[in-house]
Each structure stands twice: as C-alpha cells, then as structure tokens.
Amino acid sequence: MLFHPQSSLGRSLQDLLEQDPSFRTVAYFSMEVGIKTSIPTYAGGLGILAGDILKSAADLGVPMIGTTLLYRKGYFEQEFNKEKWQIEKPALWQPEQELTLLPNKVSVAIKNRDVHIRTWVYELSGLSGYSIPIYFLDTDIESNHPEDRQLSWYLYGGDNLYRLCQEIVLGVGGLRMLRDLGYNNIETFHLNEGHAGFLTLELMREMGYYDPEKVREHVVFTTHTPVAAGHDFFKYDLIEKIMSSDALATLKRMIPSEGVSMTELGLRYSRFVNGVSKKHAEVSRKLFSAPTIQSVTNGIHPTTWVSPGMRKLLSRHIPGWENDPARLIQALSLPSEDLWAVHQASKMRLFAYILEETGVPLQSDVLTIGFARRAATYKRADLIFSNLKKLIEIGGGKIQLVFSGKAHPKDDGGKALIQKIINTSDKIKDSIPMVYLENQTMELGRLITQGVDVWLNTPLRPREASGTSGMKCTINGVMNFSVLDGWWIEGWIEDVTGWAIGPTPSDTDLHSYDESKDALDLYEKLEKKIIPAYYNDKGHWHTMMKNAIAMNGSYFHTHRVVAEYCEKAYGVKFRGI
C-alpha cells in the first residue's frame, strides 16, 4: 500500500477537484483567442487580450474555462505585391499538432439544418501548474453541409451572413458544448465583446420559460468599441433566414426592434458591464445611455511579453514578480547599466530579424521608434509623416522607424494607409531609415515591443478604447509617446513614464479640438524632449525606463485585471491572492 504524506494527499485531492468540471464557475467566451503564434486564432488586440487574461487566470488559479472557434485557415498571412498593396493568404495550420480532439459533439439549427459541432481543447498551464482548458469549436465535419463546414475556417471572413452563423455557433453551440462536457455549475458567463451574445438566448431556452432577470444573473459583458459603427448588427430579415422560429420568437421578445445589436444584447442581459479603460467606460456610458457601465482597464500577461533578458534581470532583483507583478514598483532601483545592456540585447535581436527579412541594416545606437498595430485609418499611423521636410530636419540621422500591422481584408482605407507608409519609406530612407515588417504575429509583436526605444501611438480621440501594445513595451522599459486616449490617460506622467501628444482630454477637446495640431506637438516634443534626452541625458533616459516598468508595468497587467474581475464581476476568491 502506498503511503502519501498528508500534505501530498491533500494537494492531490485539491488538484483532482480543481480539474473536475463541477468546480469550474466562470466561462470566458471570445470570438478570438491569442495564445501563441502557432495557433493563429487571433487577429489583434481583442484576441491577444483574451489569451493574456486566460494565462493570468491559470497563474492565479481561477476556476475558469475558455471558449472560442477553431479557424482552420486562421485570420490571414499578409504579403505585399509590387505596388505595395496588401494581399491575404490563408494562415493554414494543423490543429492536431497543437490541440487535442475530444469525442463530444453537439448541434445547432442553422438554415433549417443541424450543424454538428465538435471541440478541440488546449490545456493552458499556469505558473503553479493549475490548468485552464480552452475549447475550440469546429464545424469542419464530414456530416455537415459543405457551407456549414466552412463556418470554422476564417476569423472575421465572409459576409454578414457568415458572421451571424459563426456567432450562433459560438454563443449557442458553445454553451451546449460546455453542458455536454459536464460544466453544469457555471455561475458566470463572461462575454468578451458581443460576438457570443446569443449565449443569452440559449440560457433562456435552457430555463424553459422567459425570465430576463435570471439570465442577467449569470452574464458579464465587456465592451471594447467606443464608436457605434464598430458593433455587430443583424437585421431580423437576415436572422429569419438562419434561426428556428422558436428561437427567433424569443429573440424578438428579448430585443424588440428591427434587428439585433450584439452589444445591446450584452448590455441588456448582463449583471455587470465594463469598458476597458476609465475613459472608455465614460465614453460608453454616454454612447449607450448606460450609467452603470464600470471600468476594468486592460493589461498584458507579464511573462508572455517580457524579454528573456529582462525577465532574468527582474527575477534577480525582484524575486517573485512573476506571481505578483505589483512588486515591479521596485524596478526603480534596478542598476542602470544592467537595464541598458538588457535593452540593447533586445534591440539587437529585433535588428537581426529586420536585416534577415528586409536587408535593411539599422544601427543600435540610433533612437528607434516603433509603431505596430492594426492598420485602421483612425489609428493614424501616418501622422508622423504629416510634414516630411520637418520630420527630416528634426530626425535626419537621429531616428529610425519600425512599422508593422495588418489591415482588415475588406478595409481598403487601411490598405491604402500601409501603401502610403511603405512608399514614404522610400522617400526618406537616405535621412531616416525605416522598415515596414509584413505579417505581424504575436512573436513579431514581442520582438518589436521589446526592441524599440520609444512606442508611438497616434489614434483619433476617443477611438482607442484601451490599447495594450504600449503596455507590452512598458514591462520592457520602453516609453510611450502617445495621444492621451485609452489606457495612456491613466499611465502617463509627462517626462516621467513617457510623453503625451496633444492636449489633456476633455469634452471640449473631443468636439472642437483640431486633431491636425497633434502632428505639430509630435514634432515639437520629438525635437525638444525625446531626441535630446536619448542622446544627451542617458541618466534621465534610464530613469524613465525604470519608471515605465515600476509605474506602468506594475499596474497594467492581466493579473490585476483578473483580480478586478473576480472582485467586481465574478464574486469568486481563488488561490492566487
């Protein structure tokens, strides 16, 4: 008979219970989830945030599970033709190399057909060994109609009909799959954006009678988009072609209008609603006339985004920071020489990649400014090029630029923006070296956010709900140079953690401020503050690097985000805090 010490036996029993579906109380639903580059089920910030939240939940031992779609052909791989125009290719991958196929199957009714759904699972292991399963729903099954097999092929692909069907699979099919897997004690369904909103319809069906309040008791909703046009809307004449008559009747009772806004569905049928920064929550309360919307400012998963060298440096001087990133406040006392050496190593890794991919040799002693995010026109990636003569006067021989980012396949404005930036690089390359790195992935994002000196962010206000790319920089000692919107309003201290572009935000600014003045402020601060500090005051520069880690990195992380959700929305306590 084997003898188990009491502590070992107790831990074994705890581990067993923690893996039992009956003990999982939070289900996190997201249209996209970014775990790593080799699982291309993410398009950008929304999916990477979802992955980071699930990683922190695993680190902290939160009784959570994740649900998303499989996307056999991913989002897309980006290439450029001879005219520098973006073209898209499927991001093909082999799920069986990354995930485990489970035997469970459920079905949903779409277009008067039963669409069969199976699921794959990825076990996300945290720092303590606690595991969170993420379920990837898949309709690419031989028994399905050819059209239905394609519903789990593309992320954000196809037309509005395709998107509607996908969201039914995610919300309705996702909940049915969780029940089939044995998750019958879920107390909170967290909708990361409105895409999974039809889950509320399925909860209503499960009850067998109409009771909106009971549905609200189980749902939490996070909105990410601060403009009305960015929210999914499906007219009932389209939904009528897809849903069963019973489901349609219930849905029309839930949302009695000409169609369904998935955001409205989330707002109406959730007990807790939040925006993803203080400013975004304020904007959302006005946009939706919903005074109860709260804020949980986004963060990033620290150990995913910190460079290898920085991680070693932080662990040497701040033991335990991985489990408790709030300890990063102690980064103020990091040795300057060691911090600079670690940063230069990250910079050289980035430059080696750039040289290999583009043939452009960047210099490690030159101030390097980075801009890498979704190529949407409101993000104004070209603001820095508003006056090329002025830019060259200020930065010629003193700065170099690294750009990256994908435009949505249907966003010709975003594609034209990329084309303009690439063409601009040819005009200024003799004075200001510049590269546009194609096909941004999580891994490339890591290289850029770790290796540049300054992070540029220039969105139109108040379009930036939060923004997390700049947070990834701060944990690596990279300062932000950004318009005051989203998270940066909370993280910015001028000349301490970074620099602002344009005025402090106010209601007056949003209505009457001339946004073109941002370029003037950008040039002035680049000339009078940033370039002089980098070249002539390394002591101050090193201090700002430490401030970025200590004041921004210690707060803008998903361990704090998950803790806030547990406190404000989930009502659960867990073994990580």
pLDDT in tens, the chain (577 residues): 333 344 554 555 566 667 789 899 999 999 999 999 999 999 999 999 999 999 999 999 999 999 999 999 999 999 999 999 999 999 999 999 999 999 999 999 999 999 999 999 999 999 989 999 999 999 999 999 999 999 999 999 889 999 999 999 999 999 999 999 999 999 999 999 999 999 999 999 999 999 999 999 999 999 998 776 668 999 999 999 999 999 999 999 999 999 999 999 999 999 999 999 999 999 999 999 999 999 999 999 999 999 999 999 999 999 999 999 999 999 999 999 999 999 999 999 999 999 999 999 999 999 999 999 999 999 999 999 999 999 999 999 999 999 999 999 999 999 999 999 999 999 999 999 999 999 999 999 999 999 999 999 999 988 898 999 999 999 999 999 999 999 999 999 999 999 999 988 764 455 567 777 999 999 999 999 999 999 999 999 999 999 999 999 999 999 999 999 999 999 987 554 4
pLDDT of residue 556: 98
The pLDDT assigned to 577 comes to 44
Half-sphere exposure of 144 (CA within 13 A, CB side): 23
Per-residue burial over 87-126, b if 16 or more Cβ lie within 10 Å, else e, is ebebbebebeeebeebebebbbbbeeeebbbbbbbbebeb
The two tokens of residue 111 are 């277009």
- Residue 188's identity, in one-letter code, is T
Question: What ranges in 259-335 are assigned the alpha helix state H?
Answer: 262-268, 278-287, 302-305, 308-317
* pLDDT, position 6: 43
C-alpha distances (whole Å) from 560 to each of 188, 223, 527 are 19, 18, 36
pLDDT for the residue 233: 95
Fold of domain 302-555? Rossmann fold (3.40.50)
Bridge partners (DSSP) listed for residue 119: 137
Nearest to 296 by CA among 220, 216, 188, 187: 220
- Please name every residue paired with 101 in a beta bridge, in sequence order, or none if there are none: 120
Could you give the count of Cα atoms lying within 13 Å of 470 in the half-sphere of its Cβ? 31
Residue 223: partners with Cβ closer than 8 Å, 6 or more residues away: 193, 194, 263, 266, 267, 273, 274, 275, 276, 284, 293
Domain boundaries, the chain: 26-299, 302-555
Instruction: Return the H-helix or E-strand segment holding 450.
Output: helix 442-451
Crossing angle (nearest 10°) for helices 336-358 and 308-317 = 170
Q: What pLDDT does residue 3 have?
A: 33
Helix, strand, or coil (residue 65): strand
Q: Taking a C-beta distance cutoff of 8 angstroms, is the pair 46, 30 a contact?
A: yes
The reply to whether 26-299 and 302-555 are identical in fold is yes
Report helix, strand or coil for 89: strand
Q: What is the DSSP string of 538-555?
A: HHHHHHHHHHIIIIIITT
pLDDT of residue 4: 35
CA distance 237 to 240: 5
The strand order across the sheet containing 100-110 reads 100-110, 113-125, 131-138, 64-69, 26-30, 188-192, 219-222, 272-275, 294-295
Q: Which of 286, 283, 264 is nearest to 275 (CA)?
A: 283
The model's pTM: 0.95
What CATH superfamily classification does 26-299 receive? Glycogen Phosphorylase B; (3.40.50.2000)
- CA 235/CA 257 separation, integer angstroms: 9
What is the rounded distance in angstroms from the CA atom of residue 410 to the CA atom of residue 68?
Answer: 23
Q: Which residues contact 345 (CB under 8 A, 6 or more apart)?
A: 307, 309
Measured CA to CA, the distance from residue 381 to residue 395 in angstroms comes to: 17
CA distance 364 to 452: 10
According to the 3-state scheme, what is the secondary structure of 366-406?
A: CEEEEEECCCCHHHCCCHHHCCHHHHHHHHCCCEEEEEECC
CB 146 within 8 A of CB 281: no
- For residues 521 and 459, give the distance between their C-alpha atoms in angstroms, rounded to a whole number: 14
Is residue 183 a contact partner of residue 27, using CB atoms and an 8 Å limit?
A: yes
